[in-house]
Amino acid sequence: MEYLPFKVVSPRGGEMIFISDFRCKFLFCISHKLTVIFFSFFPAVNFDHFQILRAIGKGSFGKVCIVQKKDTKKMYAMKYMNKLKCVERNEVRNVLKELQIMQNLEHPFLVNFWYSFQDEEDMFMVVDLLLGGDLRYHLQQNVHFSESTVKLYICELALALGYLRTKRIIHRDIKPDNILLDEHGHVHLTDFNIAAIVKEDLRATSIAGTKPYMAPELFQTFEGSHPGYSFSVDWWSLGITAYELLRGQRPYVMRSSTPANEILQTFHKVHPSYPAGWSLEMKSLLRKLLCIDVQKRISCLAELQDLDYVSDVNWDAVLSKQPPPGFIPNRRRLNCDPTFELEEMILESKPLHKKKKRLARKTKDQGSDGSPQSGQLQQRLDNVQRDFIVFNRETSKRAVGDSESSELSTREENKAIEDGQNNNVKPAAYLSG
């Protein structure tokens, strides 16, 4: 049986250290003249812990299916990425970076990350299951989003962007394809594959994103006429997305193949049109989000909250998902392209539901006349195996809970000692988990 890395928790410092070379978990905390050792074992989650139900889509570097965790019966979305393909396409770095970013995030308007594990063939990410479909799907179904609905989407996504800013994260790929709806119609941002972490007072300079949603300063950075960019690029993308949801088309006509210099010319020559049926307040908000001048663009949550248009918004209520969205996905249908299931069952050369038999057969074959990968390629695959980040949010939450409980106990004991009410503190042993 494989076990998770152990974690050393210091309640006084509030720090947690992950030590990956060990396969058990110790929680070690120090109180006033008292040492308490927590010891527990948590089996690592793997492919066998899930029942595969059906394929529902494709991610940036893999496919997605619905799964059920066998012990808890909870439903999740599982994204799986073939290691060999990732290595051949030089995509491993992005996958590992996404794992690193997502394990430190948790927010009501993000698609939250629960588990990651690997086997010989694939890397797996298990995340929240949101069956409302992505906004691209609903646009393709000719759904008309009302202004009040889009206003709520803007507020919910703005809270997500505000949270990401506290983590110094630029998403860099906000678009309808990466915004999923839950069954009640609330939005959730997903796909951190090309996200960037920027240090204080520094700018990002690498170019990434989907061209029709990328801010002008990204192209200016590419052309060498701008020193870099920051969080403002996500707010531009939010503006493009909101405009598209309202009108069914984007404000600027461009394709992924359009050269950067032509796109920059388009920004300066074309002025987006705003239909007469839209409120003046919504038009004003979109103009502020789609301002080419970064200094004049709405680029943070506080600037949005200062607008009269959202003065009636109860932000605490929005954060707790109290306001009902105007559009609720059809719960009687799966809001995705049904051909994904056919691809997995018929066209896919290595369907996920046959993985266990395939790996067993592969192991047997390699025992006799197996054909190993070329030396350099095998080394890169070995590096993936070594560098992959195994994650389990359930045990992380439990460890944090143990830490907080221990810290509270420590404070109470210290206070009792200071008050002279507890001069004979007896050591105690705790078994967590």
Which residues are tagged catalytic? 173
User: CA 37 to CA 54: how far, in whole Å?
Assistant: 44
Buried b (16+ CB within 10 A) or exposed e, 298-336: bbebeebbeeebbeebeeeebeeeebebebebeeeebbb
Q: How many other β-carbons are positioned within 10 Å of the β-carbon of residue 268?
A: 9
Residue 93 DSSP class: H
74 is in an annotated binding site: no
123 and 81 Cβ atoms separated by less than 8 Å = yes
From residue 79, give the alpha-carbon distance in Å to each of 37, 122, 126, 285, 363.
37, 10, 6, 36, 24
Q: How many other β-carbons are positioned within 10 Å of the β-carbon of residue 75?
A: 14
From residue 48, give the alpha-carbon distance in Å to each of 42, 44, 82, 103, 361.
16, 11, 17, 22, 17
Whose CA is closest to 344, among 62, 129, 49?
62
User: CA 94 to CA 89: how far, in whole Å?
Assistant: 11
CA of residue 289 relative to chain centroid, distance = 23
User: CA 392 to CA 390: how far, in whole Å?
Assistant: 7
N-terminal to C-terminal alpha carbon distance within the chain: 17
Q: How many other β-carbons are positioned within 10 Å of the β-carbon of residue 179?
A: 26
User: CA 272 to CA 281: how far, in whole Å?
Assistant: 16
Residue type, 259: P
Tell me the backbone φ, ψ of residue 212, rounded to 5 degrees.
Answer: -60, -15
Give the three-state DSSP class for 320.
Answer: coil
Residue type, 283: K
- Residue 60 corresponds to which tokens in the numbers above? 């940036």
DSSP 186-234: -EEE---TT-EE--TT--B-S--S-GGG--HHHHHHHHTSS--B-THHH
- Residue 366 corresponds to which tokens in the numbers above? 């390699």
- Residue 418 corresponds to which tokens in the numbers above? 């200071």
Annotated binding site for ATP: 79
Annotated binding site: 79
